[in-house]
Structure 1
Amino acid sequence: MPSPTPTLVNIGTHSLALYAHGPSPTPSQPVVFFINGIATSSLVWAGVLKLLPSTLRSYTYDRSGFSASNPSPLPPTPENIALELSRLMKNTPITNPLILVGHSWAGVLIREFIALTGGSQIAGLVLVDANLETSLQVLNVLDPQLRAVFKGVEHYEGSGIAREHKLTSEEWDAFIKDERSAKFVLQAENESKEYEPGFGTLLKKELAKKQPLLGDAPVFVTGGMRSRDWNGLYAAGVAKGNGTEEQRRYAREMIDGADEKHMGLIREHLKLSTRGKLVWAYESGHFVQLTQPELVVEGVEWVLDELKAGS
């Protein structure tokens, strides 16, 4: 599906690119707002967008420095990204009840957004294999021995996503082209520097002691199988000759225990609300929206149904 022309929204310091999908909503109608994971193009949602109900309004956006958005004077910490998102909402303005859909690092970004704004505009949440503040303590995706084995392996190819995604060839080509642009690569490096410190910053806020942060707002959680990606990356890395025998053994043990640890983390998201639903994406790794986009749509529709029932 062709990407709509972005609206450049001035947030005071610079402009962010906002993309509107679907018809204009009534003032009380919930709208869906998609938040990408770290260093991921907003085009990652293409497979989900085309499956959403045609009557539903949704938005994607480019974070600072990516694609059509301007660079920010602030470093891309989760706190600053949440601040810029709040300014985007205010200056658009998007005043409708929000159904936030967040993937991966967006789990941290959404928690920072709640900490900043109180979350009163959030009507519901769909979390797609999302992080929380303790993720790296339980399953460290940055582990240097694991990374030594995966070194030099193209992620989408090695993990199998390039073969298993549900995008059209045109959508996939646009997605990859965006992520390989010089502007994108530069900002991806900037975000990556802020990735690990952001977990510690969020952890210090002790949001876990304030649960349920969203009261009874419906929260749909879906998690993929971390080992699914890592098995492919491991095989490709070994084929390249990566890693010592000890590093390979360590990586193999980490992969074998990854799903159990990851599933425990994903279940923690249900504490955000007294109304939640958990669905496992057994045919996906980390990028559920690419390989099983129908599960993300199921989550949006479940949230909408819960909101209707509650009203």
Structure 2
Amino acid sequence: MNPLPSKQQASIHGQALEYITAGQGSPTIVLINGAGGPLEGWLRVWEPLSVLGTVFAYNRPGIGGSGKPVVPQTGEVIVEALRTLLLHAQLSPPYLLVGHSLGGLAVQLFARTLPEEVSGVVLIEATAPEDVSVMASHRSGFQRLAQRTLDAVFGRDEFGEVEHVSRTVDLIQRVGPFPDVPLVVVTGGRPTMAWATSAQALTARAEHQRRLAALSPQGKQLIASRSGHFPQLTEPEVVVDAVRFVTARQTTGA
């Protein structure tokens, strides 16, 4: 497995952002991390994806070599910063967006706000807008205690995207429809912390994953049967196959 390419830096709207690129040609595959996840999380899929086209990944504010956020990281701020960073890197639309976990909300907002700039979407264990309220209402005592402990140890970032996720969900619900583009939803077959999560919450999230796949008439769901929340690490071939499927649909228009 080859290492990731050298990281580059850009100043976008006064915010220092770190990014990497590789490959060439179309499609431009844009990898969007989950909350707190560094771009190194794409290591196991990076090389095979770079064979399919141009691949791009970056660290959002507060991660890796990117600076701490200087403004609240609401959905529209995240989308605009990403779009400007892509243009800075001389990567023109349309983009094939790949979002993991909370990054799935950014992907949805980008695709709904700028449908003409999106040619396809892959969602990996993605947060659905419905998850935010439903999962919070079903949190176990253990999960609430764990969150309070983390907040006490590390503090809460008032500008961080997690603090503003409700605003992002509201934006998704108010903007235009999801575009009619090739879409694959990759869902882990082994839910993370299932032992500490209520049956109702697990059932709700499974239904939300199915609904994500139904966002586009061209949508489908893949189950990564051996994976929890990080199929790109545990079953990278499933994620690569999902991107390859979307790429093929783009090419054939099927």
Identify whether the pair has TM-score above 0.5, normalized to the shorter chain: yes
Q: How does 1:223-242 map to 2 (within 5 A)?
A: 223-225=187-189, 227=191, 229-231=192-194, 234=195
Q: Please tell me the residue identity of whatever aligns with 1:21.
A: A
Q: How far apart, CA to CA, are the structure 2 residues paired with 1:194 and 1:91?
A: 23
- The DSSP-based 3-state class of the residue aligned with 2:42 is helix
Query: Tell me, what secondary structure is at the counterpart of 2:210?
Result: helix
Aligned to 1:147: 143
Shift of 1:40: 0.8
Residue in 2 aligned with 1:99? 96
Superposed displacement of residue 132, structure 1? 1.8
Contact 2:75–2:171 (8 Å) recurs in 1: no
Q: 1:123 maps to which residue?
A: 119
Please name the residue that 1:87 is paired with. 84
Give the secondary structure class of the aligned counterpart of 1:40. coil
Q: Distance in 1 between matches of 2:20 and 2:226?
A: 29
For 1:279 and 1:141, the matched residues in 2 are separated by 27
Residues 1:17 and 2:18 are matched in the alignment: yes
Structure 1 residues 7-39: Cα deviation after superposition (integer angstroms, max 9, x where no partner):
2223231331120122x32xxx21111000001
Please list every run of 5 or more consecutive structure 2 residues that lacks an aligned counterpart in the other structure. none
Report deviation, 1:142: 7.8
Tell me what 1:76 maps to. 73
Deviation per residue, 1:67-108 (Å, 9 max, x gap): 122333212233321221122123223104211110010111
Which of 41, 45, 50 is the aligned partner of 2:42?
45
Task: State percent identity of aligned pairs.
Answer: 27
Amino acid aligned to 2:111: I
Relative to its length, the structure with more strand (as a share) is 2
In structure 2, how many angstroms separate the alpha carbons of the residues matched to 1:78 and 1:142? Answer: 24
Q: CA RMSD in A?
A: 3.0
Q: 1:42 to 1:205 in 2, by over 3 A?
A: closer
Paired residue for 1:276? 219
Amino acid in structure 1 at the alignment position of 2:173: E
Do structure 1's residue 293 and structure 2's residue 236 form an aligned pair?
yes
Question: Taking structure 1 as reference, are residues 207 and 277 closer, same or farther at Cα in structure 2, changes over 3 Å only?
Answer: farther
Structure with more relative contact order (C-alpha pairs < 8 Å, separation 6 or more): 1
Q: CA deviation at 1:58?
A: 0.4
| Inter-CA distance 13–257: structure 2 relative to 1 (3 Å threshold) | same
TM-score (norm 2): 0.85
- Alignment partner of 1:132 is 2:132: no
- 8 Å contact kept, 2:185–2:212: yes
Residues 134 and 199 in structure 1, CA contact (< 8 A), matched pair in contact too: no
* Alpha-carbon distance change, 54 to 114 in structure 1, aligned in 2, over 3 angstroms: closer
Give the conservation status (yes or no) of the 8 Å contact 1:102–1:110. yes
Q: Which has the larger radius of gyration?
A: 1
> Does the Cα contact within 8 Å between 1:77 and 1:191 map onto a contact in 2?
no
Match in the other structure for 2:210:
267
TM-score normalized by structure 1? Answer: 0.71
Instruction: Give 1:221 deviation, angstroms.
Output: 0.7
Partners of 1:9 and 1:152 in 2: CA distance: 34
Secondary structure at the aligned position of 2:85 is classed as helix
Any stretches of 5+ residues in structure 1 without a counterpart? 155-184, 235-250
Indicate the SS of the match to 1:18: strand
Map of 1:199 onto structure 2: 166
Number of the residue aligned with 1:190: 157
The whole-number CA distance in structure 2 between the counterparts of 1:79 and 1:308 is 30
The 8 Å contact of residues 7 and 18 in structure 2, kept in 1 or not, is answered as: yes
SS at match of 1:278: strand
